[in-house]
Structure 1
Amino acid sequence: MTRPSDIPTVPGLPVVGSALDLALRPHAFLSTLSRYGDLSAVRLGPTRAFFVSHPDLVHQMLVTDADRFVRGRLFQKIKPLLGEGLVMSEGAVHRRQRRMVCPAFRHSRLGGYAEVIQDVAERRLSSWTPGRPVDLVRELQELGFDVASNLLFSDGIDPQVMAVIRRSFPTVLASVMRRTLAPTDLLEKVPTRANRAFATASRELHEAVDTVVARYRERGAGGDDLFSALLAARDESTGRPMTDRQLHDEVVSVLTAGGETTGTALTWCAYFVSHRPEVGERLRHEADTVLHGKPARYEHLADLSYTQRVATETVRLYPPVWMLTRQAVTDTRLGGHTVPADSTLFHSSYAIQRDPRFFTRPHDFDPDRWLPERVGPDQRHAYMPFGRGIHGCVGERVGWMELVIVLSTIARLWRLAPVPGAPVRPVFRTNVLPRRLLVIPEPR
């Protein structure tokens, strides 16, 4: 077993190392890492971190040796947003919380959730004006938040409170990745405009969620929405319900996953629909064949196979969270190397899912690479947009369902054409999102 000093080191600049490359040119930087090996060392200012570039080693971190790693730097920076919810908790606390949350996503609830998603999508997408340009970044992010809030609360969230939540999330999430990649934590203490904006947005977000939780807690359990399921959950060892703090943190987690994460995936799906005429045409043909002009229901989803493949391929190229972290609890063997205790490790599904070792023509958008007869074990193993193991996304099935329902609704109602001269450029923050995505909707 080799020493830590034998792990290949990625060349960097004096003092800052690779921090600027990762912050300013993440796509180009990530694409070079595998040439240094499946595990490489990177200097981020005075800190030495490690990048994991092979799905076998990621699987080892997330599944096989999961007890040897904790969440790490990114999650430390996002903790002011997500608190101790399921996304953030560790060890026994996480296992207990996951057992309490899982019933809210059981199979018997999916049909009802599908109806909510379809109702929100129909209402939102039908409001577009034919021929008038639409910024799909704004529209589909807001649609994602509308879906998440309606899944949580059957009566919806007060529009003014929801406006505060929507406004706060982008500011908080942009700061999270910037703080994760900063070469020193001291920069967080400086009263810059960005730090003041982060503090204000975080405070306003939590105050808004507290208002919603208090209002709906008074109603009590008994509904078919997610919040009722969370209220009804009991710790199997103590019989106790979730505290107000737990409820708050789980609501923020659902809004993060449903609003930012799913909204981001929907935006990139719509990009390929609008900028690839053949993709849009096949989607519309499938919607006509399966739905016959009617809204999608849960029982339609299995037959919307091309729509599913479009969503799958989109999330391969643009996974909702492009980079995650882990921290080694003890000295650990990884890929034949010794990773010292307390080391920070990064892994990027964005990089691995574009790696030519695992995907043929990895930068091409090819939904049919997911036809059953074309999918090989390497491809399946390298595909991990929602994580893996005990920390994998508990609401993943609902997220996939939302992508397929919203895509089929767009295909049934509209033809989307890109606005000429409006380039689409990805911006890397906690997620990867276009700065703008302007399209012209024409009714079918």
Structure 2
Amino acid sequence: MGQGKEPPRLPDGGFAAWSRDRLGLARRGAEECGDVWELEPGVYVAAAAGPCEAVLRRAHDFPKASSPLFPPLNLKRSSGAPAPTPEERAYAHAARMRGLRAQAVAARIGEIAPRSARFADQWPTGQDIEILPPVRHTLAEIGVSYLFSEDAPALLPHAAQLFLAREVLVRPSRWVWPRWVPTPARRFRTRQQVAFTEALRPVVHRRRSSGRLGDDMLGQMLRPSPHYGLLPEEAVLDTLPGITVATFETPSRAAAWILLQLARHPRAADRVAAEAAVLPADPAATTGSHLADLRYTQALVSEVLRLYPPSWLLTRQAPRQTQLADYTIGAGSTVLVCPYTAHRDAREFSEPDRFRPERWLGDAGSPEKPGLFLAFGTGPHGCEGTSLAMAMLTLLTAQTARRYHLSEPPGPEPGYRVTTLEGLAPVGLRLRATSRD
């Protein structure tokens, strides 16, 4: 492949400026350099929707780094079984996807809705509370229950420890250790993986021996497939720590931003409340049809995810020289895909910095058609839990707005800190609920 032009570089950019203000530098780079720009030699930022989508869809040219947060346990198997093969891991992923597809989620809305309602019911009124911890706990209950049904209560404490291991691993450090170095954080991570796996193993044994596999996601993985038969036990177990944490970790950040926007946009919150008023009095009677009728609520959730994508930056590698948006990307380069700036591109969204849920309603005759939406990624590595996350967030939003007016504590400055290292989150956000009655 011939040499092409190099992406422009932000004159006073670089890792030092990036570490001080990632969001600010990302926006400056997009405004001053355009669709693709160079952060450091060999490190590029895809800032606009077109290049972002191209990188995510061209998985052969820009593969995802093979460094999962919860890698397979390379320990001596107590069962004596060999480690799963790459083919078996691929089959396990396909089986997992059966339990997360939109139809499967819609069929279990009646299980998700009660916990969303209980979150709203238990919110203490008349006082400012830090919102991320109770949101995370509620979404963990929903997510772990969706995966493991009646076995969820025994596994929920282990899921909480897996989340803590994740938080310890991603904390900033002045040293970047090679992956093979057993740092304290990595040893803690391994202990929690082992504990979770060993708590889950007897569940798998009991379900298979009894023949009652269950209708949850684990049950889907335990069912034999006409294409590949019965999955080995280790292939089932190894794939579950990461997806267990993923069901609530990223949605928790999104939910915090959503609740903040309900507080800042009371008219939008009123509209959500009016729409949610038609939900069944018994949350367990909620169905997929009820969820589909929450059109404005889903539009509001999408608009918040556009403005504040929890996974605002995705990392890909270029193992060989390739082209991106008419630029040459050298072999061995890193490409940072930035949904945050792609979602604020005026070519994709009119008034891109304005909070306008109506843009997602798609009413007949509407002059506006929203642009590319990357909050859940796209392409081969798009988020497999998109349908579950949208159901959780929509119901939590509807049930909360149905009961309360939300407000921020008084003061000239936001009472929270925006973190960007592993995801976009309003850490320390405090909100007050006042009953609508």
| Alignment TM class, shorter chain as reference | 0.7 to 0.9
**Which ranges in structure 2 are unaligned for 5 or more consecutive residues?**
74-83
Name 2:48's counterpart in structure 1. 54
TM-score if structure 1 supplies the norm length?
0.83
Superposed CA RMSD: 3.1
Matches within 5 A, 1:29-428: 29-34=25-30, 35-43=32-40, 48-63=42-57, 65-72=58-65, 76=67, 79-83=68-72, 96-158=91-153, 162-170=156-164, 172-173=166-167, 175-176=169-170, 178=172, 185-186=176-177, 196=184, 198-220=185-207, 222-232=213-223, 234=225, 236=227, 238-244=228-234, 246-288=235-277, 290-291=278-279, 293-295=281-283, 296-373=286-363, 374=366, 376=368, 379-381=370-372, 383-421=373-411, 423-428=415-420
**Distance (Å, rounded) in 2 between the aligned partners of 1:324 and 1:261:** 13
| Residues 108 and 129 (structure 1), Cα distance of their counterparts in 2 relative to 1, 3 Å cut | same
**Distance (Å, rounded) in 1 between the aligned partners of 2:320 and 2:328:** 10
How far did 1:386 drift?
0.6
How far did 1:232 drift?
1.7
**Distance (Å, rounded) in 1 between the aligned partners of 2:188 and 2:427:** 20
Q: Is the 8 A contact 1:234 1:242 kept in 2?
A: no
**Distance (Å, rounded) in 2 between the aligned partners of 1:172 and 1:442:** 34
How far did 1:260 drift?
0.6
Letter in 2 for 1:126: D
Q: Deviations over 1:212-258 (max 9, x none)?
A: 3213112225211111112225482x4240442x3234322322321
**Distance (Å, rounded) in 1 between the aligned partners of 2:259 and 2:405:** 11
Q: Is the 8 A contact 1:82 1:252 kept in 2?
A: no
| Residues 433 and 171 (structure 1), Cα distance of their counterparts in 2 relative to 1, 3 Å cut | farther
Q: Deviations over 1:354-382 (max 9, x none)?
A: 223322222221111223144755x332x
User: Would you tell me which structure has more helix in proportion to its own residues?
Assistant: 1
Q: Is the 8 A contact 1:144 1:262 kept in 2?
A: yes
| Residues 146 and 168 (structure 1), Cα distance of their counterparts in 2 relative to 1, 3 Å cut | same
How far did 1:125 drift?
2.9
Q: Is the 8 A contact 2:222 2:230 kept in 1?
A: no
**Distance (Å, rounded) in 2 between the aligned partners of 1:352 and 1:68:** 20
Q: Is the 8 A contact 1:293 1:412 kept in 2?
A: no
How far did 1:80 drift?
4.0
Letter in 1 for 2:205: E
| Residues 95 and 391 (structure 1), Cα distance of their counterparts in 2 relative to 1, 3 Å cut | farther
Name 2:9's counterpart in structure 1. 9
1:441 aligns with 2:421: no
Secondary structure at 2:149 match in 1: coil
Secondary structure at 1:327 match in 2: strand
**Distance (Å, rounded) in 2 between the aligned partners of 1:322 and 1:424:** 18
- When structure 1 is superposed on structure 2, of 169-178 and 121-130 the one drifting more is 169-178
Matched pairs, number: 415
**Which ranges in structure 1 are unaligned for 5 or more consecutive residues?**
none
